Amino acid sequence: ETGVTQTPRHLVMGMTNKKSLKCEQHLGHNAMYWYKQSAKKPLELMFVYNFKEQTENNSVPSRFSPECPNSSHLFLHLHTLQPEDSALYLCASSRDRDTEAFFGQGTRLTVV
């Protein structure tokens, strides 16, 4: 266990659904991240939060909406997704932007 917990582990949703992914860490880290991992492609950084403030949005479509209510929790709200959004979504945290990131187990998302 890395100390970063993601729920749910698996999610199947229709294109008209709204769902949320949750990430939680109690490592005292100040930076949190959302990554997307598709088959045979490198990990793609989606969003970065540092001290609860979004510091990076790597051209992610607006159907993905992150929320960071405090330094321990990070959400990814999903709505009107497309089948090509099916992937493993990984959350990570680090003490700060310069130190090692610890990853959660990921949420396997399937859009039907």
Please tell me whether residue 100 binds other proteins under the rule CB under 8 A.
Answer: yes
Contact assessment for residue 77 and residue 85, using Cβ atoms and an 8 Å cutoff: no
9: how many CB neighbours lie within 10 A of its CB? Answer: 10
Please tell me whether residue 43 binds other proteins under the rule CB under 8 A.
Answer: yes
- Nearest to residue 17, comparing CAs of 66, 87, 77? 77
Residue 99 C-beta: closest distance to other proteins, Å: 10
Per-residue x/- mask for other proteins, residues 56 to 85, rule CB under 8 A? ------------------------------
Please tell me whether residue 88 binds other proteins under the rule CB under 8 A.
Answer: yes
**Residue keyed to tokens 């209510």:** 69
Please tell me whether residue 42 binds other proteins under the rule CB under 8 A.
Answer: yes
CA distance 61 to 49: 17
Quick one: which of 68, 74, 90, 111 contacts other proteins (CB under 8 A)? 90
Alpha-carbon dihedral angle through residues 90, 21, 78, 11, given to the nearest 10 degrees = 90
In the complex, the residues that contact other proteins under the rule CB under 8 A are: 2, 4, 6, 40-45, 88, 90, 92, 97-98, 100-106, 108
